[in-house]
Structure formats: structure tokens, C-alpha cells
With several copies, the nearest count.
Chain A
Amino acid sequence: MTMATTAPRLEFRHIGKTFPGVRALGDVGFSVRAGSVHGLLGENGAGKSTMMKILGGEYIPDEGEVAIDGEVMHFRKAADAIAAGVAVIHQELQYVPELSVMENLLLGRLPTRFGLVDRRAALKWTRERLDALGVDLDPRARLKSLSIGQRQMVEIVKAILRDAKILALDEPTSSLSHRETEVLFRLVNDLRAQGKAMIYISHRLDEIFELCDAATIFRDGRKVADFDTLEGVTRDTLVQRMVGRDIGDIFGYKPREQGEVRLAVKGVTGRAVQQPVSFEVRAGEIVGFFGLVGAGRSEIMRVVYGADRRLGGDVTVDGRAVKASHIRDAIRSGLVFCPEDRKEDGIIGVRSVSENINISARRNHLTAGLFVNDRNEARTADTYIERLRIRTPHRKQEIRLLSGGNQQKAVLSRWLAEKDLRVLIVDEPTRGIDVGAKNEIYNVLYELAARGVAVVMISSELPEVLGVADRVITMCRGRITAQFNRGEANEENVLAAALPEGASATPMRNA
């Protein structure tokens, strides 16, 4: 390793951390310079978030130490890290839903006057800072009334407003729209100019290339590579170091035969879907739904699935009508749905990986029509753990202890285990998923499609939609605005169709 010109602001030395049955980190060390953005890459479960939690004082490492400006730190709780000038934006958003944006931003350090909270000063300060950062948020809005993206933005601003000298961002863009991402990038660049040391974790390699000065790659809780600069480093090198094999084209699109119409949605409306929505998906077809955050894609799919009340319209699978607002009827018809909010709607945290995988499919494997077939369930769980490479010590691990990406794979497995799968709707299936696993998930989608399953994929990542889908449907403000067959679709026309009229159609890099 060539010596850095400036002494590192932040240094991890021989960090080790073990959870029961999992060695999350072993002898890992790297350093981050002031005025630089350091990318942290690795597969799901590689230990990135664990490292950040150590930095944030949430976990105490079993071995090794963290040093700031050469001085060894002993963080025992989050407040210690904050006091030392560290701000961490955690992968799992940590906000208080009932409190206002202002109070969330100033959590733990509200200004007071004569012992009482000085709300006016706080409001003024918050407004000024938000304006200065160019972030449009109402300081008085309650967090629970904001979209996920806006909440994420609050988290980011909260960390930035701490004026910390070290800032770690753990997958901050996973639920941000293009536009919010732009804001974030601008903020990060400003902070770099101010001389902050930053760690940036993302599974989106473009972001790493765009933003980072240096990078470290983790695999299986160890460091496998350090890049002092990303000049001249290719995407394939990074992927290869991360995954340990060559992936080539990550999308690896495979054309396939398409059959009859499987899923037909006609004039469906719901509480959050005011204008009727109609579309069709054929057997073997993968349809990508693209739109900006808030375009209403999740809403419409939730209504189709029955998770939200359907107020009008018909949904048919292979010509058979699916009962409105009745999830179990949808599942019986072979129509299933993977929600976007994994933690709230996807996993059952305190139950095991196996339970999470078998929760629905087990009804088909009952002994004597009554008793759960444990052996069969174990087999099913192990099959998918292996097939999707779910990183877990064993199938009985509580799923909340898995890394985010691995939780996502388990939720997907739940539906893959369905006997008679006909329509699969996945909402942001690769959110927070590593490159290797993305590739695996795409392959699973292709495989399903090849078996004749109709696949609907909601995604906010344009390259993914373009790379995987046979057909792209764009949505904007709760309406379908356009359709493109594969080949016709490109960045410009898809984005233009997804943007509300009046907004500029060019990708915005105008900061």
C-alpha cells in the first residue's frame, strides 16, 4: 500500500466482530482521508453495515480499534461517537414517525431558552439550514406523513446538520428518486469540499464511480481489496473482487417465448389510485414498471394483489377473476406480490428464515391435511438458501439478524416456493441488493418467465428496467403514460414519459 499523502482522518485497525454463529468481521482495517469519499463495497452480508455500526458506537468490536486523527477511540454508545464528530446514516432508517421533521433533525439537541424548548429558534434554524442545503421539506410535517424517499432525505440531512467531521452513509440512495439522489450527490460534493471524511456504501456501482475517491471491498467479513483511487479501475474489476467471479453483463437478458395473456388488469381503482388503470402481462413476459417515486406504481400493484381495497375494475389471471381485496384468493390464483418495504411489509423479523420462506407454501404440504410438515419445510428452506445464496448460519436464524439483501432473497423465496406460480409482482426487488445477487435474482426472474410465469417488476432504476424487462410501462401521477417494447425503450424516452409534464425531460445534472 502506498502511503497516503495526508494522514488518515479515520482509521479502522484489525476490527473483528462475531455474532452467535456468524463471524461478521475478521481483522479488517482501512483508512479514510479528510476531504475524500471512501466507497465501501461488498456482497450482502459482507459486513459493511456492521462496520458502520461499530463506527457509530452501536456495536463494540470484539477485536481491533477505531482511530480518529490517529487517536484511538473507545465508543461504548452512540452518544460517544456523536461527541467525537461521527455521524452515521444507518441502512435501516432511524426516525421517529410521530415527531416533526424539525424535531427529528434536532433529535437529542433541541435548543432551549430558560430550560424550555425554543421552538421558534429551532424552526428558524431548521428552515435556514434546509434552504441552504437546497432541500425542500416542511420542517413541521410529521415524518410519518412523508414518503419513504423524503424520510430518507430527512435522515441524510440530520446527519449532515450535525456538522460532524466524519460522515458515513449506508446505502442512502436505496429509496431515493433520481432527483433526490441528485440533491444528495451535490450535498456530498459540498461536504467533500469542506474537508469532511466520508464513507459511502452502495450497491450501485455508477454511484461509486461518480462519487468516490477511494474504495474498499469486503467479502465474507474480510477485506479483499483496497483502491486508493478509482482512476482506471473498471467496473468489472470491482465486481470480480466483490463476488469472486466474473459476471459479465449483469442483466444477462435472455429472450424467451411469450404465451397468452396471463394477467389482465382492467380499469382498476383504489383509494390511492383514482384514475382507472389497465394493463396486461403475457405468460413468459417480464414487464418493467418505471416511474418516479410517488408515481403510484406500488399503490396500483397493492390494489391488484388485494393488499389495499380495490374500489373498481377487474383483475383476471388466466381468465379467472381474482376476488377484490382478497389476498388469499390472489395467492390461490397464483398471483403473488413482493412488497417494497421489506422491514414493514416483508419479513417477520423474530421468526426464522425457514418460517419466513414457508409461511405461504406450507398449506400445500400438510400431513393429514392438518399438521405442518417440518421435514418438507426444512428441505424447501435449504433449497432456496442454497439457490439464492442466502447468507445465514442456518435456516433457524431469526431473519431480522440477516443483512438486508439476504432478507430480500428470503422474501422472494417465499413466492418461489409456491407450487402453482402464475403471476409474480416484485416491487423494487433489487433494492439494497449486491451486484452478484442482483444477477441471481434476474436469473430467477428469467427462469420463472421461461416457465411461463408472468412477471411484473417495479423498479426505480432505469438501467435495470431497460436491461431486464421485455416491455416497459411508465407511470406518472397515478396514471400509465406510455409503453415501450424492448428495443424501443431507451433512457430518454422512458424518462420523458415518466416525468410529469412541464418538468425537464433531460436527466438532471443541473446542480
Chain B
Amino acid sequence: MTETNAAAIGATRETQADRRRALLWHIVDDYSLILIFIVLFAVLSFTVEYFFSWDNVVGLALSVSQIGMVACTMMFCLASRDFDLSVGSTVAFAGVMCAIVANASGSVVLGIAASLVAGAVIGAINGVVIAKLKINALITTLATMEIVRGLAFITSHGQAVGVTSEAFFTLGALELFGLPVPVWVTVACFVVFGVLLNKTIYGRNTLAIGGNPDAARLAGVAVDRTRIAIFLIQGVVAALAGIILASRMTSGQPNAGEGFELNVISACVLGGVSLMGGRASISGVLVGVLIMGTVQNAMSLMNIDAFYQYLVRGAILLIAVLVDQLKNRRQSR
């Protein structure tokens, strides 16, 4: 056949100029959130005292480091049309676990390993229940959130568990090339999960599953296995965040990370990850995390009353999503 379908249909209604404009918009759209963040950052740098200082920037990075790590894996979770509320509890439990095992065995490495394994087990349980037993992710992880929090309290008797080994503290306090280790770990997470999302079968399958689980399954994608892997990895990373938090605080605290899950999910959604699955970008998530952290940081620097901070947080969330929405609206016109 000589004629192309497009020619036959006559769909090529666009001119060259149209196309160029479309491309420009495409770029603006793709990076709109980044632009928003840059503008926000610039404005704050000029208006808020101390905002644009190395100390503050490091503090900001540190304050979002745990959220950032877990946001990477939450992105996968949301992209596959799932949901995980149990990460906050896992952070707490992992910290406690690490401290207990490290104290008992005298080996920090063993504590860390035990804690990562615990995270993997929690994640795997979530994954299996959700993928195999086909129970709603929200309910499953709400249940494990309760259970794991309970375990954190039970194992620690509700008390902070101090770690005696010095080696453990350095993990959280050490600086490399001017940045503290937790920040480097977070950066590493973004790089690793960015590559995983965009460059590996695992990432592409995740998006496919979120976009249309049936299609993925019918195409032979190991849907269940991928979903379980997503939760398992999320458990491990949440545990890692918990360990790092514990090392920063020099103790495992059973009530750490309350509300953490909603912060992480907000950051992802702010970063353009669709709750309906199938859409995610690592740069978006990074910016989402940064916007959240920056706003909180700036509010504190500006001495905004704690009560009014609720208003600002809510408003920022709305505005950011609204802007993103307007962009999508134009796109689908």
C-alpha cells in the first residue's frame, strides 16, 4: 500500500508553525512544575532573610531527606495505581528495630540488616495481600500501618531506644563534600529510582500496570510479581529512611513518622504523579518534595504562626495542583 493512513484520513491539519508552538508548549508543560519551583525559590531567596544561605539550604535538604527517599518508591506505588499508608509506621519500626538489634548484638551492621529485612517483610506482606488476595491497597496498608505501629510500640515498650555505638551516629551526622550523608542517600535514591523508572523493564512495566492492568497482564507482564516488588522495595526504602532517621536522632523512636505517609503522597501528587496510575516522573517528584520542604522552611523562617501554617500548607497544595491541572486541561484540549 502506497498511501499512508494519515494522508488518507487527512489528519495532518497542522502547519509547521503550529507544530513549533506545540513543541514549545510541550516543553513548558513538561517543566512547568520545575519552573514554578525555580520561581518560588528565587522569590523566597530575595524576600526571606536567611533563606538563601548554605546552612539553610542544607537544613532544607536534610528536612526533606526522609520524605524524598520514600517519595521515590511511593512514586512507583502510585504509578502502578496502588497506595501505601504504612510507610510512616515502617519508618518508626525500622528505627526501633535497628536500635534494638544493634544494642543486643553490639553490631550496627547487624542492626541495619535486620531493620532492612523487617522493612522488606512488611513490604512483601503488603504486596502479597494486595496483589494475590486482591484486597484494596488503601485498606491493606491502613491495616499494616496500625499493625506495624503497634509492633514498634511493643518492641520498644513505647520508649525511645538509644543506640550506644558511636558508629551509628556518624551515619546521620557525617558530611561528605559539604553535604550530610542522609542527603546523599536521598540523592542516590532519586538517581537509582529515576533510572529504574525510565530505563528498565521494571519501571516501564510499573507504568503499564498503572495505565491498564488488564492490558499489562494480557501482554504477559508479570503483574503480581511487579506489584509485590514495588511494595517490597518500598518497605526496604522506608526502613532505610527509618534507620537514617534513628541515626540522626541517635535513637529509635516508636512514634516517629506519624503523618509521614500523607506528606509523601502529597509530594508525589504535587509532582504530577497521577493517583489513577500510569503517569509519573522522577523530576516531578523531586520538585514536589522540594516545594513541600521549601514552603515549610520558608514559613518557619518567616515566623508564621503555627496555626496559620495550616492555612498556607493547604493553600500551597491546592495552588500547585491547580496550576498542574490547568496545564493538563490545555494539553487535552
Contacts and interface: CB of A to CB of B under 8 A. Distances in A.
The reply to whether A and B meet directly (CB within 8 Å) is yes
Interface of A: 1, 19-21, 23, 26, 56, 58, 77-79, 82-83, 88, 90, 94-99, 103-104, 107-110, 112, 115-117, 134-137, 147, 150, 153, 158, 177, 179-180, 182-183, 186, 219-228, 244, 271, 292-294, 305, 307, 327-328, 331, 337, 339, 344-351, 355, 359-360, 362-363, 366, 370-372, 414, 476-477, 500, 503, 510-511
Given A20-B22, A115-B200, A360-B219, A107 B278 contact: no
Given A26-B13, A78-B219, A349-B212, A362 B5 contact: no
Given A348-B211, A503-B8, A77 B217 contact: yes
Contact of A355 (B208, B222, B331): B208
13 contacts: A94-B215, A99-B208, A112-B200, A117-B201, A136-B5, A179-B8, A219-B9, A327-B217, A348-B208, A362-B204, A371-B200, A372-B200, A476-B10
A161 B29 CA distance: 34
Interface string B3-14: 111111111011
B218 A95 contact: no
B207 interface: yes
A293 B6 CA distance: 11
Interface string B197-229: 011110011011011101111111110000000
A97 B211 contact: yes
A36 B80 CA distance: 40
Contact of B216 (A108, A370, A371, A511): A108
Contacts of B5: 135-137, 150, 153, 179-180, 183
A209 B155 CA distance: 73
Contacts of B133: none
Contacts of A26: 13
Contact of A227 (B1, B9, B198, B277): B1
Contacts of A83: 220
Given A108-B216, A294-B11, A345-B218, A116 B208 contact: no
Contacts of A221: 13
A220 B9 contact: yes
A107 B217 contact: no
Contact of B1 (A186, A347, A350, A366): A186
Closest 7 CB pairs of A and B: A96-B211, A136-B4, A348-B211, A94-B215, A107-B219, A350-B278, A79-B220
Contacts of A328: 220, 222
A42 B104 CA distance: 71
Nearest to B3: A225
A158 B216 CA distance: 12
Contacts of B199: 116-117, 371-372
B195 interface: yes
Given A98-B211, A503-B3, 4 more contacts: A20-B25, A344-B215, A371-B200, A372-B201
B2 interface: yes
Given A90-B218, A307-B217, A511-B1, A293 B211 contact: no
A222 B8 contact: yes
Contacts of A344: 212, 214-215
Contacts of A19: 333
Contacts of A345: 214-215, 218
Given A117-B200, A136-B6, A225 B211 contact: no
